[in-house]
Amino acid sequence: MATPHPRRAVKQTSRWTLLIAAIPAVPALAGLAWSVWAAGGGLEGAFAGRTILARVAEPLLWRSAAWSLTIALVATALATGLAIAIALGYRGAASHDRVARSLAALPLPVPPLVVGLGAVLLLSQSGVLARVAAAFGWIAAPVEMPILLHDARGLGLIAALAWKEVGFLSLVACSIVAQLDPELAASARTLGMPSRAVTRRVVLPLLWRGLAPSVVAVLVFVLGNYELAALLGPADPLPLAVSIAERSRDAAPGALGEAHAAALLATLLALLAVVVHERPGRR
Amino acid sequence: MTRPARLGTIVLAIAALLPLAALVITAFGTTWFYPALLPAGWTLEGWTVVGGGRLGPAVATSLAIGSAASLLATVAAVPIGRAIARGDRLVARIGTGAAFLPIAIPPIALATGLQLLALRTGVGGTVVGVVLAHAVPALGYLTLFFVGIFRGVDPEIESAAHTLGLSPRAAWRHVLLPLLRRPLVEALLLGFLVSWAQVPLTLLIGGGAVRTLATELLAYVQAGQDRLAAVSALLLLLPALLALGASRRLARTTGTLAG
């Protein structure tokens, strides 16, 4: 029996390895292919590229996308700011520092749906915060409590998303701060830099460099989150994730195609955030 | 401890614990009318539905789907993770990108695409379809997990086993599997958690016919049934908290957790 040429054998192994390595993407790519086909009118029996463009260009969809992107950016910025403040404020080894870090990480394992219910119970006009405000005499009736849920400003949704994500970001930020070389800050101080400037010019840039990938991951998660948007988001504009779900369950002709166009837009936004962060030449 | 630090810790404690406290109070409280700060009394009435009604079967379905999806994803992720970890730079790039894709796509967008696929293959609206759909993101997470695990396992161990005359299958059974026992348990747990709280994939692939604990919780909140929603939420939270406690304990015993 002839033995295979060594180089050919290596190439074959490599091809098989590549195929095996690509398996996790296969269902997602198949789903995307179906979405392209359905968004282009395939379900109605007339696929065309311009149908996808027309559906993606629909103003209502862009309104949803712009609103969701704004909420995601604000919630991510808020969670990032809090996580950095916690990591810098409680970086010691004392027991209160450890307690504070544990408290900050507490939301990490809490599923988004549970966070959503917690937000409803806390922030509604007859929720826990309204009761506390009434007990202090700040409000006389539930209607005096500011509307924080299902509002177009998305205040409750931003608070819930930030609460959920501060757990993950503070965990990452605390571990980055713990691994920073103390000699760097000490050298900066020896060179005459005030404490506040050391934090701003030495510690913060290093912390941000380590934290940035996690911030992008959080932004992608927050942008695509369905559960919290469904429970706390407004009816107008409809959050992008909710808009996809509503359209995909709508029996109206063409609604499913629109749902797939919206899903493609959501995928594009999420992948764009990853690509922008991972772009070549980025430090 | 300085005054601002103490104040900060108190604010942090309130912000972290208040939503969870509200859940516990709602799950065990009787009538709780505005503006009372606490319910009129305490009851276990909400918990009686766990054994029957809609919630009992939903919990059982969630457990079954979570276990099956996790097992499926773990079995697939082990060889894929090994192939990526042992491969060259191209394999590593394509492999990690492929594993990252089902995680990066928003679940609702992923569910919309998979919905048509499920309907065309006849698994739409079935438990099997939901298991397969849940396994998609779980496979992404677990592949990345096993890439990390296999990068930490010296490939020379496998080579030595082959040199000593073990067949590839025997090397897997007698050398690799004992090494992977703990990561396998952790992977099964992680895969289960990915599925356990999954909503968009269940809603769209299950098409309302498959009811899990997470979809029941969503329905209870939207219907304003706070007590049942709080009971469901605490049940949904339980495995995640158990897993976190177990991982922290494990990390402490192996010295991988600081603070």
Please state the pTM of the whole predicted model.
0.89
Enumerate the β-bridge partners of residue B42: B29
Handedness of CA A172, A176, A177, A178 (dihedral sign): positive
Nearest CA in chain A to B26: A121
- Residue in the block written with tokens 């009372």: B36
pLDDT in tens, A211-248: 998 999 999 999 999 999 999 999 999 999 999 999 99
Provide the pLDDT confidence category of residue B253 given band limits of 50, 70 and 90: low
Q: Is B95 on the interface with A (CB under 8 A)?
A: yes
Q: How far apart are CA B98 and CA B136, in angstroms?
A: 11
Residues of A in contact with B18 (CB under 8 A): 122, 128
Q: Determine, for residues A103 and B94 on separate chains, whether the beta-carbon distance falls below 8 Å.
A: no
- Nearest by CB to residue B114, choosing from A27, A112, A270, is A27
Predicted confidence at residue A113, as pLDDT, reads 96
Q: Is A103 on the interface with B (CB under 8 A)?
A: yes
Nearest CA in chain B to A90: B5
Nearest CA in chain A to B242: A109
Q: Is A81 on the interface with B (CB under 8 A)?
A: no
Residues of B in contact with A270 (CB under 8 A): 104-106, 109
Residue A30 C-alpha, separation from nearest chain B C-alpha, in angstroms? 8
Residue B82 C-alpha, separation from nearest chain A C-alpha, in angstroms? 9
Q: Determine, for residues A264 and B109 on separate chains, whether the beta-carbon distance falls below 8 Å.
A: yes
Q: Is B131 on the interface with A (CB under 8 A)?
A: no
pLDDT in tens, A59-70: 999 999 999 999
Q: Determine, for residues B196 and A111 on separate chains, whether the beta-carbon distance falls below 8 Å.
A: yes
Mutate to test the interface with A, among B3, B6, B12 (most CBs of A within 10 A): B12
**What kind and span of H or E run contains B176?**
none
Mutate to test the interface with B, among A90, A110, A174, A278 (most CBs of B within 10 A): A110
CB burial readout A68-103, b (16+ within 10 A) else e: bbebbebbbebbbebbbebbebbbeeeeebeebbeb
Mutate to test the interface with A, among B108, B142, B146 (most CBs of A within 10 A): B108
Predicted confidence at residue A151, as pLDDT, reads 94
Report the 3 state secondary structure along chain A.
CCCCCHHHHHHHHHHHHHHHHHHHHHHHHHHHHHHHHHHCCHHHCCCCHHHHHHHHCCHHHHHHHHHHHHHHHHHHHHHHHHHHHHHHHCCCCCHHHHHHHHHHHCCCCCCHHHHHHHHHHHHCCCCHHHHHHHHCCCCCCHHHCCCCCCCCCCHHHHHHHHHHHHHHHHHHHHHHHHHCCHHHHHHHHHCCCCHHHHHHHHHHHHHHHHHHHHHHHHHHHHHHCCHHHHHHCCCCCCCHHHHHHHHHCCCCCCHHHHHHHHHHHHHHHHHHHHHHHHCCCCC
Name residues whose C-beta falls within 8 Å of residue A144's C-beta, 6 or more positions apart in sequence: none
Q: Determine, for residues A108 and B22 on separate chains, whether the beta-carbon distance falls below 8 Å.
A: no
Q: Determine, for residues B20 and A118 on separate chains, whether the beta-carbon distance falls below 8 Å.
A: yes
Average pLDDT, rounded, for chain A: 89
Predicted confidence at residue B5, as pLDDT, reads 79
Half-sphere exposure of A169 (CA within 13 A, CB side): 32
pLDDT in tens, B120-152: 999 999 999 999 999 999 999 999 999 999 988
Q: For helices A155-179 and A112-123, what crossing angle results, to 10°? A: 120
Complete DSSP assignment for B101-155: HHHHS-HHHHHHHHHHHHHHTT-TTSHHHHHHHHHHHHHHHHHHHHHHHHHTS-H
Predicted confidence at residue B57, as pLDDT, reads 92
Residue B36 C-alpha, separation from nearest chain A C-alpha, in angstroms? 7
Q: Determine, for residues B5 and A90 on separate chains, whether the beta-carbon distance falls below 8 Å.
A: yes
Decide: residue A275, CB within 10 A, 0-12 exposed, 13-18 middle, 19+ buried.
exposed
pLDDT in tens, A92-144: 878 888 889 889 988 988 999 999 999 999 999 999 999 999 999 999 999 99
pLDDT in tens, A38-58: 999 998 888 999 999 999 999
In this structure, how many other beta carbons lie within 10 angstroms of the beta carbon of residue A136?
8
What are B228's two structure tokens? 């049942």
pLDDT in tens, B55-110: 889 999 999 999 999 999 999 999 999 999 999 889 999 999 999 999 999 999 99
Provide the pLDDT confidence category of residue B235 given band limits of 50, 70 and 90: very high
- Residue in the block written with tokens 């379905």: B61
Residues of B in contact with A100 (CB under 8 A): 5, 8-9, 12
Name residues whose C-beta falls within 8 Å of residue B242's C-beta, 6 or more positions apart in sequence: none
Task: Select from A223, A191, A205 the least CA-distant residue to A69.
Answer: A223
DSSP SS3 for B56: helix
Q: Is A51 on the interface with B (CB under 8 A)?
A: no
Nearest CA in chain B to A111: B197
pLDDT surpassing 80 at residue B16: yes
pLDDT in tens, B149-174: 998 888 888 888 888 888 888 888 88
Average pLDDT, rounded, for chain B: 89
Answer whether B17's CB lies under 8 Å from B193's CB. Answer: no
- The one-letter code for the residue type at B26 is T
Q: Determine, for residues A263 and B108 on separate chains, whether the beta-carbon distance falls below 8 Å.
A: yes
Q: Is B10 on the interface with A (CB under 8 A)?
A: no
Residues of A in contact with B8 (CB under 8 A): 89-90, 100
